[in-house]
Structure 1
Amino acid sequence: MKLDVSFLLDVFPLLLSALPTTLLITTVSVSVGFVIGIVIASIRIYRVPFLYPIAVSYVTFIRGTPMLTHLFLIYFGLPLLVDGLASFAGLSFRAASIPLIGFAFISFSITAGAYMSEVVRSGLLAVNRGQTEAAYAIGMTTWQALRRIVFPQAFATSLPNLSNSVIGMLHGSTLAFTVSVVDINAKAQIVATTNWKFFEAYIAAAIIFWGLTIAIERITGLIEKRINLYNRGGVA
């Protein structure tokens, strides 16, 4: 087998046409997952009655099952739930109206939420509890203490793990092709079927994902430098 370099170069523009879909899936799942993670982590740290066992079960189940399984559960289970509720309420809306990428958004956000919650929880626990007590001593409410003191420090501590989670979700977005969403990986497969040059197509896809991963690492590094300036008092 001989590597077709010309085809490898020609396939890049075709794969880049699917880049917005990959970035959209990753951005939505990470953003929503981060919000879910903050809520779940807070519930677990403060042991909120009734919600605490639900939060623990959610994290345990999601982390204990494959990401692809979550996608299939949402893809096949959500329509049953939506159609059942719509029929019960007498609504004409049906799950068939939900775009396919919507199932990826929901599934990957739920998955990201569980993993993000552990990252956020570890960051929150790393902040000295004495700082929260000091905030109370000067009259701050719990929310003010969290927003002004705890969360900024927890974010700085959790940043490397958050970066890993973002990269993980970027790579996990390739599973969206199983529900007919055309991302970079799916586009590579589609392009390769025209002449059976799968090796070249997937090399191109790998290079694009590699570049995206490096970009995320560089952005994380810049944020870390900015945070370190504040920690050293270098920014007024």
Structure 2
Amino acid sequence: MFDVEFFFRTFWLSFKALPVTLKITAVAFAGGIAIGFLIALCRIHKLKVLSQLCAFFVSFIRGTPIVLQILVVYSIIPSLLNSIFKNAGSSIDVFKINPIVYAYIVFSLNNTAILSEVFRSALLTVSKGQFEAGITCGLTSYQTYRRIIIPQALESALPNICNATVNLIKNTSLAFMMTVKDITAVARIEASYGYNYIESYLDIFVIYIIVCSIVQQIFRLAEKKVSVYRTGKRALKLEGEKC
């Protein structure tokens, strides 16, 4: 029988763990945006060796299940490092590291690979002629990207960034595998006492629906704001006036 009292009590207990989920999401999102964009640039400009390494990284991360990545980062690598430190006579104990650090690493790497492809495809939608025009007008490469290329690419990228962010939030539910007390972990722990798994999983479902809906709404507002760059006319007009 469905336990309504347990449902509401566990809902608020799980909701209190929301900051942990959001913290993991924020760190992974920030890392993915920064590093993912650099990887996209490396691959677009085909930098020697570096572009190949970036391509291998993206293929490896996107081609392996995130559960496997968690096992590697949380179990295999720490065990190897611990053996190395012990053999070297070091007193460093990698197992004392806060588990959330491993969550930061796993989800940042995963999100970086995904966003790098998002940025690469978005940047390629902007013609090379616009970059050359910016350089001809006396702008630096940085200024050309900031004022001409990125504003136009951003509109194409936002829907995919939104999808990546929503998937990231949902994937953080796997953080419980690293003993991180996020929404899923708290709900599962509460359910284990009386085997109220239906109520607990429904709590998780409702919380993630609320959070993901809010995130999607934020991105919709962002898409409307950057829609002024739809054809690149505004950016090109500004650069034309400068020339």
Q: Aligned residue for 1:185?
A: 184
Question: Which moves more between the two structures, 34-43 or 204-213?
Answer: 34-43
Deviation at 1:50, TM superposition (A): 1.1
Q: How many Å apart are 1:156 and its aligned residue?
A: 1.8
Contact 1:19 1:184 in 2 (8 A): yes
1:39-58 pair list within 5 angstroms: 39-58=38-57
Tell me how far apart the structure 1 counterparts of residues 88 and 32 of structure 2 sit (CA, whole Å).
Answer: 29
Q: Using a 3 Å threshold, how does the CA distance of structure 1 residues 30 and 89 change in structure 2: closer, same or farther? A: farther
Q: Distance in 1 between matches of 2:88 and 2:154?
A: 43
The 1-side partners of 2:139 and 2:229 are apart by: 22
- Counterpart of 2:64 in 1: which secondary structure? coil
Number of residue pairs the alignment of both structures matches? 232
TM-score, normalised to structure 2, is 0.88
Distance 1:193 1:222, change over 3 A: same
2:103 corresponds in structure 1 to 104
Per the alignment, do residues 116 and 140 of structure 1 end up closer, same or farther by CA in structure 2, a change over 3 Å counting? same
**Residue 229 of structure 1: how far off its partner (Å):** 4.7
Counterpart amino acid of 2:149?
V
Partner of 1:135: 134
- Aligned to 1:118, what secondary structure does the other structure show? helix
Q: Which residue of 1 aligns with 2:125?
A: 126
Alignment of 1:24-173 (within 5 A): 24-80=23-79, 82-83=81-82, 92-173=91-172
1:3-22 C-alpha deviation (Å, 9 max, x unpaired)? 22232222211111111111
* Residue number in structure 2 paired with 1:207: 206
* Cα distance in 1, alignment partners of residues 153 and 87 from structure 2: 44
| Residue type of the alignment partner of 1:17 | K
Mapped contact 2:151–2:226 kept (Cα < 8 A): no
With the length of structure 1 as denominator, give the TM-score of the two structures.
Answer: 0.91
Q: 1:89 to 1:152 in 2, by over 3 A?
A: farther
Structure 2 CA distance for partners of 1:195 and 1:51, relative to 1, 3 Å: same
Contact (CA 8 Å) 1:82, 1:94: kept in 2 or not?
no
Tell me if the contact between 2:73 and 2:106 (Cα under 8 Å) persists in the aligned partners: yes
How far off is 1:34 after superposition?
Answer: 1.6
- Seen in structure 2, the aligned counterparts of structure 1 residues 84 and 155 have a Cα distance that, compared at 3 Å, is farther
- Cα deviation for residue 91 of structure 1 reads 5.7
Instruction: Name the CA distance, whole Å, in 1 between partners of 2:142 and 2:89.
Output: 41
Identity of aligned residues (%): 36
What RMSD, in angstroms, separates the aligned Cα atoms of the two structures?
A: 2.0
Unaligned runs of 5+ in 1: none
What's the CA shift for 1:84?
Answer: 6.5
Could you tell which deviates more after superposition, 27-36 or 198-207?
27-36
1:123 and 1:209 map into 2 onto residues whose CA distance is 28
Residues 90/151 of structure 1: CA separation in 2 closer, same or farther (3 Å cut)? farther
> What's the offset of the Cα at 1:155?
1.6
